[in-house]
Structure 1
Amino acid sequence: MSETTNETCRIRLRIDLAYDGGAFFGWATQPAIRTVQGEIETALHRILHVEADDPDEPLRLVVAGRTDTGVHASHQVCHLDISPTVLERAVGHMQVPATTALEHRLQRLLPHDIAVHRIGVAPTGFDARFSALERTYVYRIADRESEVDPRLAGCVLHIDDDLDLDAMNRAAAATIGLHDFGSFATPNPGGTTIREVKRAFWTRVPSRPLIPDEGSDTVASDMAASGAYIVPTLESGLVCFTIVADAFARNMVRSLVNACVQVGIGKRDLDWFLGKMATPKREGSTGPIAPQGLTLEHVAYPADDLLASRAQAIRAVRTLPDTGTSGTRDTQER
């Protein structure tokens, strides 16, 4: 655990959270615009009685993956560096550790579309962005074969087409490995679109009943046997794209989804997709699909004793070994 031996030391906190991105203009703070980071930092300043422009205590969050406008997160991670004295202000009359008090107060003060899962002292060497091994995103679609549930409108894209998942999976398979995704992403200034995709696949969620038709629970079994109570789980029948990578460039996932969907509805063929992978250049036909179907689902980190070395290594220059193409690692990785 991080140690604090005097007032000059600062504590690094790890914050795990989730949010519905529908009403946010992305993660990153922007003037006069509602963002996830802006809402949390405003709440932190209020709870800890710190002025917004205090240079000694900026209360600035560093996030694992910056989500775009309208994109959700079921498992986001960020870190916060804070002085011990300021952190203790969260305790007040509560007889709990300072991190627990901050977690409780922050959850009560934040709006309903942000949820704090937990707050704790980060292990030595932890960096929410650079220590991460991989990030997992899922994009959810209700196609013509799916039963559209209006309750999921905020996190599922509805399209009135039949999707060929076999064709889409052939396209997705071409993304696995270290590639320049310049056809599907925009680099930050001085950054690169070279990323390593570890897994990428399309699947249809099996139709599953909320109450099983058999089991040890007699009451549940009797209810299921009547037929009237065999209601499907919310995601039954949805088409999902799952992609795992060390990091993602701006608009990369949604642009890949859009390209795969074009293949899946027969508007484009696999050769077109492979050509986009081979020639990393934006030309207007692979823009991002609508944001509401995309959710950041997971961020993975190494063992505690490898956190610092991972953060150092991830800042190294990316190189494509077969071409020699390289670029400085994007310091605003998603």
Structure 2
Amino acid sequence: MAPGDSIRLRLDVSYDGADFSGWAAQPGRRTVAGVLTEAFARLLGPETPLGLTVAGRTDAGVHATGQVCHVDLPAGRWTELEGSLLRRLAALMPPDARVRAVRPVPDTFDARFSATFRRYEYRVADTPWGPEPLRRHDTLGWVRPLDLDRLNEAAAGLVGEHDFAAFCKRKEHATTIRAITRLSWRRDPDGICVATVQADAFCQAMVRSLVGAMLTVGDGRRAPEWPAKLLTLRERSSDVVVAPAHGLTLIAVGYPDETEYAARAEATRRLRA
């Protein structure tokens, strides 16, 4: 390999978002990207560019068990670190953020634009006593009993490709059209209500807004068809309350076969533009 060659690495990352100000690096704030970049800087030197790119920039307080990002390492350093990188990162990163896997990928792989879906779960305890203490950081306590059938009826009306402007914090020149391929609720054996939502991508605060709207249906305050009716709006609805961040976890990011990385990234960039 030539001296300037680099190797693209896919990193699978988990973190407890409670003490992070989200993923994206911010001056003076503790972020997941910040602690990851700091760990690599200690390994490679602060002047080594990483090109750190993430599948989804989670907000402050949001967790992840299936986050994906990529970095570009000098080929020579990868050769030196290949057998020990995961262990070295574990020693350098804080206990609330972990790199669980590292593997080389083609340079056509883009953690953000090559992704075909992001999947989140939102946990809600509607028990009178609230969430169990050991799950308080990833489970919302809801004071009213929730009806699972009503929750799923509301969810069904939101599946498909729609303009979710009513549920998004709009950004200039950015589309709010998204395609939800999965949205459902279940009640786990421990009694926790769990929403699973999957889409090609999400705009800011979209998942938590959808959950907030559906919870008012589940507890009987809104009709099951109400959330879907909001899809006719072209601006954020003031009637939608954003559910707290701590109940939300990014659990998976999907990608096509590696021969399709470049084509998928190109298509996504065109769509988002």
3-state DSSP class of the match of 2:270?
coil
How large is the RMSD of aligned CA atoms in angstroms? 1.6
Point out 4+ residue stretches in structure 1 off by more than 4 angstroms. Answer: none
2:191 maps to what in 1? 237
Q: Deviations over 1:196-228 (max 9, x none)?
A: 1001001111x2xxxxxxxxxxxxxxxxxxxxx
Whole-angstrom distance in 2 between the partners of 1:46 and 1:34: 17
Distance in structure 1 (CA, Å) of the matches to 2:54 and 2:228: 32
Offset at 1:19?
Answer: 0.4
Indicate the SS of the match to 2:42.
Answer: helix
Q: Which has the higher helix share?
A: 2
- Correspondence 1:168 to 2:122: no
Quote how far apart the aligned CAs of 1:287 are: 3.3
Per-residue CA deviation, residues 146-167 of structure 1 (Å, 9 max, x unaligned), is 8731110000001111112212
Query: Of 118, 134, 148, which aligns to 1:135?
Result: 118
Rounded to whole Å, the distance in 1 between the matches of 2:252 and 2:228 is 28
Q: Provide the aligned length of Structure 1 versus Structure 2.
A: 273
Name the structure 1 match of 2:216: 262
> TM-score, normalised on structure 2?
0.95
Determine if contact 1:184/1:287 at 8 Å carries over to the other structure: no
Q: What does 1:60-79 align with in structure 2 at a 5 Å threshold?
A: 60-79=51-70
After superposition, what is the alpha-carbon deviation per residue over 1:120-157, rounded to whole angstroms, capped at 9, x for unaligned? Answer: 11134211111111111000000037873111000000
Q: Distance in 2 between matches of 1:183 and 1:124?
A: 37
Which residue in the other structure is 1:102 paired with?
85
Is residue 11 from structure 1 mapped to residue 11 from structure 2 by the alignment? Answer: no
Correspondence for 1:20 among 16, 21, 31 = 16
One-letter code aligned to 2:94: P
The residue type paired with residue 161 of structure 1 is R
- Supply the AA of the counterpart residue of 1:203: R
Contact 1:263 1:269 in 2 (8 A): yes
Aligned to 1:325: none
Residue 116 of structure 1 deviates from its aligned partner by 1.2
1:30-69 matches, within 5 Å, as: 30-48=26-44, 50-51=45-46, 54=47, 57-69=48-60
Distance 1:280-1:163 versus aligned 2 partners, 3 A rule:
farther
Unmatched 5+ residue regions in structure 1? 92-97, 208-235, 318-328
Q: Is the 8 A contact 1:146 1:237 kept in 2?
A: no
Rounded to whole Å, the distance in 1 between the matches of 2:129 and 2:264 is 42
Report the AA paired with residue 183 of structure 1: A
Task: Specify the SS of the correspondent of 1:118.
Answer: strand
Q: Does 1:158 align with 2:134?
A: no
* Partners of 2:170 and 2:139 in 1: CA distance: 27
Q: In structure 2, how many angstroms separate the alpha carbons of the residues matched to 1:247 and 1:263? A: 24
Q: Would the aligned equivalents of 2:131 and 2:140 in 1 still touch at CA under 8 Å?
A: no
> Bigger shift: 258-267 or 29-38?
258-267
Gaps of 5+ in 2: none
Which of 54, 74, 81 aligns to 2:72? It is 81
Q: What amino acid does structure 2 have at the position aligned with 1:185?
A: C
Larger Rg computed on CA atoms: 1
Q: Partners of 2:131 and 2:22 in 1: how far apart? A: 26
Q: Which residue of 2 aligns with 1:227?
A: none
Q: Cα 1:201–1:280, aligned 2, differ >3 Å: closer, same or farther?
A: farther
| Contact kept in structure 2, 1:99 and 1:121, CA below 8 Å | no
SS of equivalent residue, structure 2 residue 65: strand
Structure 1 partner of 2:109: 126
Matched residue, 2:263: 309
Q: Is the contact between residue 100 and residue 119 of structure 1 (CA under 8 Å) also seen in structure 2?
A: no
